[in-house]
Structure 1
Amino acid sequence: MNRRFVVVDLETTGHSPKQGDKIIQVAAVVVEKGKIVERFASFVNPKTHIPSFIEQLTNINDEMVKDSPLFEHIAPDVLKLLDDAYFVAHNVAFDLSFLQAELHECGYDTLYNSTIDTVELARILLPAAEGYKLSQLAETLHIKHENPHQADSDAEVTAYVLLSLLEKLHSLPLVTLKQLYAFSLHLKSEISELIEEIMETKQELLKENEQLFHLVHGVALKKKQPIEEELPQPPRSFEEFNETKEEVFSRVLPHYENRPAQWNMMSMVHEALSTHQHALIEAGTGTGKTLGYLIPSVFYAKQSEKPVVVSTHTVSLQQQIMDRDIPILRQLMPFSFKVAILKGRHHYLNLRKFINWIKERETNYDAILTKAKILVWLTETETGDIDEINLPSGGKLFWERINDGHPSPLDFRYPWVKLSFYQRARKRSNEADIVVTNHRLLFMDLMSDQDLLPDYDNVILDEAHRIEAIAGEQFGIQVDYFQTHSLFSRIGTLDCDGLLADIKEILEQARLSGKPDVWQFHLIIKELKTELDDMFRLIHAFVSKRINDGEGGRVSFRYDEKVAYDAGWIGIRELASRVQFLFCDYLREFDQLKASIEQSGVQWTRKEQGVFSDFYEACEEVGQIKLKLQHLLLEEKEEEVAWFEIEPKGAANATFLYSQPIDVSEQLADCFFAQKRSAVLTSATLTVNGSFDYMIRELGLYDFQPLQLTVPSPFDYNKQAKVLIPKDMPSINSISLEEYSMILAQRIIDIASVTEGRMLVLFTSNEMLKETYHYVKELNQLDEYVLFGQGISSRNRTRLLKDFIQFEKSILFGTSSFWEGIDIPGQHLSCLVMVRLPFSPPNEPITAAKTAKLKQDGLNPFMEYSLPQAIIRFKQGFGRLIRTKKDQGVMFVFDNRISTTQYGKYFLRSLPSMDVREQPFDQLLKELEDWWTNSGNMER
């Protein structure tokens, strides 16, 4: 490609040239004819102090730049480099805006170079990359990155990223390039000329298309690879493998350590499967739990010729099993076997919908970017699974239009059924020995009329402490404003784009005699949308009046017979009844419209059939929402808890409606455990006070007498960890929230000064988290530290974790989702602060309903439910600290109830054996300093 590209990277004193931030380093790398031909780099004297945050990030300090040239002295060299070249940068708007500002200050004209943003280009051409930060792309593309956040190193790496991306662009099939060219006119990067140039060098390349791609309506798909047939192999028994397992493990795993606990777990799983029993296995961190259940499972599946389903709580653990554990399992096993991963339908792309939508004109940048990403991804993917592709946040809205969550009759016809990614995944799972799925799909399968999973009798339930909560969600009902708004936006009216407008256009072109009255449909939809909006607003106002003003974030309000005569509740039910009548009108009009279309005798085109099919599917969803709202607002509910959720400071119609069974144990016992030959439940946290009784009761396993095993962690917690409990921390009920948060903030600062950050602070209250975070900021004693707060820095857990790990001196304030399911490796987390024991709020709807029911049954709700639940969550929180044999860490517990109450001892007993100290805070801090120095943490 005969183009000149100048890759620029700048380091600066801050993020905004308009606020006076200045350049401190400039680097440029010149690329011509696919090679780096020139380099330029210089520090710049900014004539201002470099903030400590920037110094920590870049390792550039005031001393390094004080004798460097001013920008005006190097400006001519920079301009000469940029002459007649593409301006390329990683986040081009940042570098270009700074350069323009400095050039203007020196009296130079505005730059008018064509620009390429390697972030944007990578998002399109590397759709499956884990992230698009420069360091992440360098890792993905195997580019050495020696000094991240220094301009010369960053410019060099960006240049190699650019060369990789241009090579990828060249490799795409012609039909994909044509589609990308149409989208390129709406992108930030000016790449239309580059794509045009590549297309001119490519002919139709029929051989390439025939060999690698399958063309469907102008979209290139990766051809399915033929499945290798398995050679018949002599059966091997688990008992035979058990005799030689240490030899096999030593041969396959280079750093293998003998794990007797793992062998015990394997034997228990094998016993449960082969004798058709249920089992509960608590397996501590580091026991090799996943292989502990996979090895006996695959032996049983091959010998019995029946699949074993492995179910996890999170989709990420599903993927981890497939990517990390299954390859090891294949090396360990003396035979081949088939494994399939199966997720809910909405995880898979619906190709028919995507091809229809790709032709629609878009003005939304994220939707255009998502279309471009998916076009490239389709040349690579064999699964069509959304979890392979890294979508922009706005792209997730577009995904709702094109996923396979709500198939229409057309999707079950040729050729779409043959091209369906979901049907392929189903086919693979039907032929597999091990099927990896998740708890939600497992219980959806239980409740659905259709078979979502292949027929199975044996199941492994990993992360089993989450089963009761997930089962409750799946056995319950949920409707929210955003769900209904999105559905009716998809249907549309005659005033805006949507399926109804498309149908009107089709019917007008067909010139049907006795044309259906689409206008009447339009009027009903408008009225129904208005009434629904009013109903959600009324519920929002109803809840707002009945909550404490001080509550932050999303809040819940449980409604039951106590509100039956409340005027506000009566108003909600009256409006809900009107909405039900409008739903009936809507569905009656739909039936008439559908009958008119189907009885018209017109030979509809494939595209027209697609529009009708999507419309029918959407109208069926409307019918489902009608039934849900009727149950939630108008029907009596026995043995159920129903509640509303709102965000007091959010939109006035942002309302969520829920209903769940109060107790799922009987349903689980009758519909699930009684129907399965063997269910093995495993997690790091299943026991309370050394007993499985709580889990057995909650999950309905009492009559099944399950096998039970506790597999201790192999870690030496006495050497690796400490628990420190300050005796002089006041009770939260004795002082105000503000006073408590101020004391807490100062103590977090004192601890961080010893551990140099690497700290996760776990809260049970969003409000206390925010108060403490802001006090730590205001005290201004951690100037060198980077603070991250859930709901403050970001609501996205994954992004917060990535940012937290990036900085050595960092503190992460988290709540709810950070208590479990996160893995912060090694030295990135050395200190855990538990602010409060993790009891569920007593007014939380499910907790309140369970408490009332247990009282009614003559039981102690605290001992039977609240305490066991809190202990399991406490164990989960502690589990974040020590993840490997090399980790060392300390946990502070600031809740004095752990030492002042009778039940506090149960929390400490739930932890592995380790050093627990209870002293005044100043003494604990001194002890921490000594331990920190002697254990080698200071050198890490």
Structure 2
Amino acid sequence: MNTRDYAVVDLETTGTQRGAGNRIIQFGCAIIHDRQLTEHISLDLNPQREVPLEVLQLTKLDPKKLEQAPTFKEVAATLQQLLANKIFVAHNVNFDLPFLNEAFQDVGLPPLHVTAIDTVELAQIMLPQAASYRLQDLSQYLNITHKHPHQADSDAIATAKILLLLLKRIDQVPGPVLQQLGRLGRYLSRETGQVFQRAASRRHQQPLPDHLVQVGELVLRRPLPAATSQPLGPVAQYPETFTAKMQLWGKLLRPRQSQFKMMDFIQQHRHEPAGRPLVIEAPTGIGKSLGYLLPLSYQLTAAPTPLRLVITTPTTVLQNQLYRQAVPLLNDLRQTHFSAAILKSASHYVDLDRFTRYLRQGPQNRGSVINEMRLLIWLMQTKTGDLDELQMTNYETAFFQSINHLPQLTASSPYAAVDFWRRIVTQAAQADITITNNAYLAQHLAEFTADQQILVVDEAQHFADDLTNSSHHYFSVMRLVSWARQALELLHTLIDNNDVEPTLEQSYLHLTETRSLLNLFQQELLTLNDSVLLLAHASFITKPVYLDLTANPDERQRLIGTLRQTCRALDHYLEASFALEQNFSASQLQSSTRQKVTDWQRLNTKLERGLDQLENAQTRLQEQAFSEFGFYLDLDDDGINYRFNWLARSHEVMRQALDQQFPRQIYTGASLAIGTDFSYFLKQLHYQRQQVDLLQLPSPFDYGQKAELVTPATTYSPSENGADYDHWLVAVILPILRKTQAQTLILFNSLASVKNVYYPLQRVLGGEREIMAQGITGSNDKIAKRFRFTNNGILLGSQSFWEGIDFPGQQLSLLIITRIPFESPKNPMTNYRQQQLASHGSGSPFWDDGLPRAVLKLKQGFGRLIRSEDDRGLVVVLDERLDESSYAGIVQQAFPAGLPRVKLANSLLPDHIHDFLKA
């Protein structure tokens, strides 16, 4: 393949649909000869039809020049001659080549029959850690100059440069991996896989480079030797004075008075009685991470016996930030070495055993093959084996569920010595600072050691909810029924084929016995289903149904008995299945039978997870400590069948376990108080005010100069849900977006409103600006990544976009909040909290739960806007309740006291916002 020329092509068209009268308006081509970019061609083409406005805005093409350009028919023969006998390359070849061939046929020429390869797929494989594979984003990732995106000549040249870099990387892939890639490559688009097959055929056997090692069937980055404990050197004294801190800071950091105050507060309370936590509200911009790390680093070394620190966060993203940024900064300041380890669940890591089995037996389709190939490349790069490095937007696919690590460590595995999860566990057991997440902490609390005595809960506003979420589990009877039915069908097929497969014939009795056990399990499932629906007093579920099992112990006991019988039947079937699997020799089975056995084994793995869920439900129903569990039914992901859910309401048991494990606890976050009142946060964790020491730090930002809160004079009541309200939102928001090009985040309280507002905005602005919407244009992670790449993007989000995302600097200048984020009472957790308040007479569901949670969430939403000293931005709130409600004064405490406020006539909003941002 390297001996032929490449023609790298890009087309701009009037629309993406073929066969709908769409035409080519620009043809770009870059020629590569002998791995050198030798020439490029650019042609504007008259489509002989009107070009949509959004296409002209995207491509920046002049419609008058297009009218004067040649038609495709006039240049078609020349283009065919140019492309003949060359390898056709495009970034998404399944668009460009068919579109071009249709154009040839429309003018009476035959279609091109050429070798064609796709740079999107090559990039996905060879650049496994890239955040995006769009041409513009890849160019930036690879430092390739791409001056005019969406113009065919510039796109073609950028694609050609990307191809050359990818080919160079492929040339460096070791022979054993090239052989695997070549075998899998036949499933790629068109002839893309031939790139790997040709490279493998040219590769002579040679030793692996020193940084790689072959283990089993895989080539891995050679693990570094286990880090030995390093002495921390002479123990210095904490810098008590401002002068001492400045000497330590030197030229490395900007001094922040609030950060120093936080450090001193932690240092001064180092001898507090055990069990008396510190609660610190530390607004964005004060350097919170270093604010607790620095004083605690002195306390770790000053203890008579060395202590270790555990930090827990709500997200794995924040874990990585602390590990990669905060801890290295601490070590630079202290000029010492505090070792750190990230500790999260095994499922975040690749299981080399499971991946190897998948390579041998996994379903071979284009989607799974690309993932297999990119993992083969990634394993030569990764030091951690953390699947998050791949920056995928969905780790719940069948592929990732088949290759991620199980909690068990298999000592007999050929990969045991290089197992990533084993390495993580070992590092965490020895590290001075262990960084985990709330879910892992809640589920593995007993695994922390006696010398891990200090706990920091970072972004603590999430902690109580995360404890509740960590106890949320469910089982789906209908999923189990479906898996059992599929497994039964496969067993029937294997039994029917026993006369033509010697291995099956030898196992005939085991097969029939296993089938009988599966039939018994199916019968128990039907009994369980009847029992659950009887509790709900319904034959099917259309909305959440809340079960009060504490009021009727007899019903609880009957359900426990039914669950016990179902678990026993499933356990017997799985034991028989595992014994049966030992009799099968894959090498002696025909390929079709071997695939059926593999499919059956996969279903058994799912049923084994189902057994864990059923046993968990049985345990929770029996344990007195979980008497306040909430049990409810809601719709499964298919929107038809139901799930049986349970979650913990009380955190007192967990709090007691935390106090026993961690004598010293620090809770810190940016949104712990409403105004100066911490009572809601403390109540969530069952603390009294006198049990904690509080510190509320002022924001370091001068909001009078950096930001402004704008509200419209005329509003539409948010209580008026539905199309009319959403139409009003569009009428207010659209003129603002037309007037300014600022990066804009629009926060909603429902995904239905996101959808209703997105489509009108897209119709009007889609050709000028990239508009991303939660639930419509991709996963949350994907659209957040896309938004960071744009410079005038618009992001419409709900739920998780109110918090936990960081768009510093020019990534976000305009924040529009459509309404105060009150939670829906249909949310099961909200329902349980508020029902408990009402039934116990311990407070008002609105004033003591709904309102404070909404204010804190509004505070977090505003926190997306100003993230650093250099940020500047404007927030628009479109909810009349901010000013015109009985609780307006409480809601307004979500915003900084010094934030300027402006109320304007709706018609004046666009100009005012434009002028503010421009200034």
Please classify the TM superposition score into its range, dividing by the shorter chain length.
0.7 to 0.9
1:893 aligns with 2:880: no
How many residue pairs match? The answer is: 903
1:462 aligns with 2:462: no
Alignment of 1:742-781 (within 5 A): 742-756=727-741, 758-774=743-759
Correspondence for 1:262: 259
- Say whether the 8 Å CA contact 1:755–1:831 is kept in structure 2: no
Shift of 1:478: 2.6
Write the distance in 2 (CA, Å) between the matches of 1:476 and 1:895: 33
Correspondence for 1:879: 863
- Say whether the 8 Å CA contact 1:493–1:526 is kept in structure 2: no
- Say whether the 8 Å CA contact 2:630–2:646 is kept in structure 1: yes
Shift of 1:877: 1.0
884 and 736 in structure 1: CA distance in 2 versus 1, 3 angstrom threshold: closer
Code of the aligned partner of 2:294? I
Query: Deviation digits for residues 42-93 of structure 1, max 9, x if unmatched?
Result: 2222233333323333322324433333223333343233221211111111
Code of the aligned partner of 2:818? V
1:708 aligns with 2:674: no
Shift of 1:359: 0.7
743 and 930 in structure 1: CA distance in 2 versus 1, 3 angstrom threshold: closer
Deviates more, 1:428-437 or 1:256-265: 256-265
632 and 763 in structure 1: CA distance in 2 versus 1, 3 angstrom threshold: farther
1:849 aligns with 2:832: yes
Correspondence for 1:552: none
Alignment of 1:863-874 (within 5 A): 863-874=847-858
110 and 442 in structure 1: CA distance in 2 versus 1, 3 angstrom threshold: same
Write the distance in 1 (CA, Å) between the matches of 2:568 and 2:389: 41
Write the distance in 2 (CA, Å) between the matches of 1:928 and 1:871: 27
- Say whether the 8 Å CA contact 1:346–1:405 is kept in structure 2: yes
Write the distance in 1 (CA, Å) between the matches of 2:88 and 2:19: 21
Code of the aligned partner of 2:894? S
Shift of 1:258: 2.3
- Say whether the 8 Å CA contact 1:537–1:653 is kept in structure 2: no
1:67 aligns with 2:68: yes
Code of the aligned partner of 1:280? V
135 and 213 in structure 1: CA distance in 2 versus 1, 3 angstrom threshold: same
Alignment of 1:821-836 (within 5 A): 821-836=804-819
Question: What SS class does the counterpart of residue 753 from structure 1 fall into?
Answer: helix
Deviates more, 1:289-298 or 1:783-792: 783-792
Query: Deviation digits for residues 280-317 of structure 1, max 9, x if unmatched?
Result: 11111211222222333334334443221121111112
Correspondence for 2:246: 246
674 and 702 in structure 1: CA distance in 2 versus 1, 3 angstrom threshold: farther
Write the distance in 1 (CA, Å) between the matches of 2:442 and 2:495: 32
Correspondence for 1:687: 673
Code of the aligned partner of 2:918? M
1:791 aligns with 2:790: no
Write the distance in 2 (CA, Å) between the matches of 1:805 and 1:595: 52
Question: What SS class does the counterpart of residue 379 from structure 1 fall into?
Answer: coil
28 and 614 in structure 1: CA distance in 2 versus 1, 3 angstrom threshold: closer
Shift of 1:425: 0.6
What is the TM-score when the length of structure 2 is the normalising length? 0.88
Shift of 1:498: 11
- Say whether the 8 Å CA contact 1:272–1:680 is kept in structure 2: no
1:938 aligns with 2:918: yes
Write the distance in 2 (CA, Å) between the matches of 1:62 and 1:537: 65
- Say whether the 8 Å CA contact 1:330–1:336 is kept in structure 2: yes
Correspondence for 2:572: 588
Shift of 1:117: 0.7
Correspondence for 1:472: 468
Code of the aligned partner of 1:626? L
Query: Deviation digits for residues 149-180 of structure 1, max 9, x if unmatched?
Result: 22222222211211121122121221111111
Correspondence for 1:550: none
Correspondence for 2:591: none
7 and 295 in structure 1: CA distance in 2 versus 1, 3 angstrom threshold: farther
Shift of 1:198: 2.4
Q: Kindly report the root-mean-square deviation, in angstroms, between the aligned alpha carbons of the 2 structures.
A: 4.2
What is the TM-score when the length of structure 1 is the normalising length? 0.86
Question: What SS class does the counterpart of residue 32 from structure 2 fall into?
Answer: strand
Code of the aligned partner of 1:705? Q
Correspondence for 1:291: 290
Write the distance in 2 (CA, Å) between the matches of 1:782 and 1:194: 37
- Say whether the 8 Å CA contact 1:755–1:830 is kept in structure 2: no
Out of 811, 822, 831, which is 1:839 matched to? 822
Shift of 1:108: 1.6
Code of the aligned partner of 1:472? T
145 and 265 in structure 1: CA distance in 2 versus 1, 3 angstrom threshold: farther
Out of 658, 661, 675, which is 2:645 matched to? 658
1:56 aligns with 2:57: yes
Question: What SS class does the counterpart of residue 494 from structure 1 fall into?
Answer: helix
472 and 926 in structure 1: CA distance in 2 versus 1, 3 angstrom threshold: same
- Say whether the 8 Å CA contact 1:45–1:66 is kept in structure 2: yes
Shift of 1:427: 0.8
Query: Deviation digits for residues 314-347 of structure 1, max 9, x if unmatched?
Result: 1112122233334433332311221111210101
Write the distance in 1 (CA, Å) between the matches of 2:168 and 2:842: 71
**Structure 1 runs not aligned, ≥5 long:** 548-555
Shift of 1:537: 10
- Say whether the 8 Å CA contact 1:384–1:421 is kept in structure 2: yes
Correspondence for 1:739: 724
309 and 774 in structure 1: CA distance in 2 versus 1, 3 angstrom threshold: same
289 and 860 in structure 1: CA distance in 2 versus 1, 3 angstrom threshold: same
Shift of 1:493: 5.7
Correspondence for 2:513: 517
- Say whether the 8 Å CA contact 1:345–1:405 is kept in structure 2: yes
Question: What SS class does the counterpart of residue 225 from structure 1 fall into?
Answer: coil
142 and 806 in structure 1: CA distance in 2 versus 1, 3 angstrom threshold: closer
Write the distance in 2 (CA, Å) between the matches of 1:53 and 1:642: 51
Shift of 1:586: 2.7
Write the distance in 2 (CA, Å) between the matches of 1:380 and 1:278: 42
Shift of 1:816: 0.9
Correspondence for 2:343: 342
Correspondence for 1:553: none
Alignment of 1:90-489 (within 5 A): 90-205=91-206, 207-208=207-208, 211-227=210-226, 232-240=231-239, 244-252=244-252, 256-272=253-269, 275=272, 277-304=276-303, 305-360=306-361, 362-391=363-392, 393=394, 396-407=397-408, 411-446=410-445, 451=447, 456-480=452-476, 484=480
- Say whether the 8 Å CA contact 2:185–2:194 is kept in structure 1: no
800 and 382 in structure 1: CA distance in 2 versus 1, 3 angstrom threshold: closer
Correspondence for 1:818: 801
Code of the aligned partner of 2:823? S
**Structure 2 runs not aligned, ≥5 long:** 589-593
Question: What SS class does the counterpart of residue 733 from structure 2 fall into?
Answer: helix
- Say whether the 8 Å CA contact 1:284–1:711 is kept in structure 2: yes
Query: Deviation digits for residues 367-395 of structure 1, max 9, x if unmatched?
Result: 22221121121222221111112447588
Code of the aligned partner of 2:198? E
Shift of 1:674: 4.2
418 and 498 in structure 1: CA distance in 2 versus 1, 3 angstrom threshold: farther
Correspondence for 1:551: none
Shift of 1:266: 2.3
374 and 8 in structure 1: CA distance in 2 versus 1, 3 angstrom threshold: same
1:560 aligns with 2:548: yes
Correspondence for 2:633: 644
Out of 896, 908, 911, which is 1:929 matched to? 911
- Say whether the 8 Å CA contact 1:265–1:711 is kept in structure 2: yes
Shift of 1:720: 1.9
Code of the aligned partner of 1:760? L
Write the distance in 1 (CA, Å) between the matches of 2:83 and 2:523: 59
Write the distance in 2 (CA, Å) between the matches of 1:530 and 1:154: 59
Shift of 1:445: 0.8
527 and 420 in structure 1: CA distance in 2 versus 1, 3 angstrom threshold: farther
Shift of 1:420: 1.8
- Say whether the 8 Å CA contact 2:617–2:646 is kept in structure 1: no
Question: What SS class does the counterpart of residue 38 from structure 2 fall into?
Answer: strand
Shift of 1:927: 6.2
Correspondence for 2:8: 7
Correspondence for 2:709: 723
336 and 777 in structure 1: CA distance in 2 versus 1, 3 angstrom threshold: closer
